[in-house]
Amino acid sequence: MITKTGKMNVKNDVVEKGAPIISLENVRIRLGSRTIQENINLTVNEGEFIAILGPNGAGKSTLLKLLLGLLKPSAGTVNVMGRAPRRGNTDIGYAPQHRVLEADLALRARDVVGFGLDGHRWGPGWPSRKRDAIIEKALQEVDALRFANAPVGQLSGGEQQRLLIAQALLTNPRLLLLDEPLSNLDITRGQEIVTLVNNLCRARNVAVMLVAHDINPLLNVVDKVIYVANGQCTIGTPDEVITTETLTRLYGSPVEVVKALGRMFVVGAEI
């Protein structure tokens, strides 16, 4: 579950109109003695929906941690809304990788969402009209009001994922970071989450970066993809990035991209 600190409605960042939400220049990310990514150059603008793709261990989630201020680059410049990344930035909403909750967990769905406001304190937080209104609005935006009072452990994986997204919306963020929200969901539930996130992106004009393993559920809604592999990354539209030539270069070995029935299939690389 996400725990976010900081005051509810404080916005300290001033972003020049038209300035990018995220800018990375010649960034290198190292964990210990291992270089995870090198020479990253990318820009994310307001209202863009971007998928982050690539094989396991390539650095997809690590890139999100860099933007959250949990990691520092070993080289290069990172700007998030005009400033260096920092922990507790309420202009960023973050939903971590989802783990299915125990069936006997008795907390209500709305209580779990409320942890996004006061999860740094012991207990579910003090009730107040303002707090309740913020939670109610977030639940409504993710279409979760119908099960808001249900025990969270009895909800489906898709319903629990909606709660994590609701948590991430509580501080009215300008950037939404979602780490593998489609994992462990069937095709129908996964497509519902994609539709939900796309609607939020367009209605709020919020920049979205979503980590995924498969482009196909996102193919018709994302503006760009960031593909990470073999310590390198590239950004562009799906048609620009997910090509035989580009992926062969990223992986350093032959990769074939096959397009059929409105879907993309990557052959010859671990994805």
Domain positions in the chain are 22-267
* Of the candidate ranges 12-16, 20-24, 179-183, 241-245, the one whose mean pLDDT is the lowest: 12-16
Three-state DSSP at 229 gives strand
b/e for 90-112, b at 16 or more Cβ within 10 A? bbbbbbbebeebeeeeeeebbbb
Distance between CA atoms of residues 154 and 259, nearest Å: 39
Residue 28's closest CA among 16, 39, 13?
Answer: 39
How does the average pLDDT of the chain come out, rounded? 87
CA-closest candidate to residue 67, choices 94, 45, 38, 37: 94
CA distances from 106 to 58, 142, 151 (A): 37, 21, 5
Count the Cβ atoms, other than its own, within 10 Å of residue 137: 13
What are the backbone dihedrals phi and psi of residue 267, each rounded to the nearest 5 degrees, phi first?
-120, 135
Task: Look at residue 3 in the predicted model and tell me its pLDDT.
Answer: 35
| Residues 268 and 242 sit within 8 Å (Cβ to Cβ) | no
- Decide if pLDDT at 247 tops 60: yes
H-helix or E-strand spanning residue 23: strand 22-31
> In the block, which residue shows the tokens 């482009």?
215
Between 105-119, 152-166, 240-254, the lowest mean confidence (pLDDT) is in 105-119
pTM over 0.85: yes
pLDDT > 60? residue 14: no
Q: How far apart are CA 154 and CA 150, in angstroms?
A: 7
Q: Which residue has the tokens 């990691």?
A: 71
Dump the DSSP string for 73-113: -SEEEEEETTB---TT-TTEEEE----PPPTT---BHHHHH
Residues 6+ apart with CB under 8 A from 26: 39, 40, 41, 75, 76, 77
Residue type, 83: R
Question: Over 80: is that where the pLDDT of 157 sits?
Answer: yes
Tell me the average pLDDT across 185-211. Answer: 96
* pLDDT attached to residue 102: 65
Contact in structure between 175 and 207 (CB atoms under 8 Å) = yes
For residues 128 and 125, give the distance between their C-alpha atoms in angstroms, rounded to a whole number: 9
- pLDDT in the model for residue 17: 45
Q: What is the architecture of the domain spanning 22-267?
A: 3-Layer(aba) Sandwich (3.40)
| Residue 178, CB-side half-sphere exposure with 13 Å CA sphere | 32
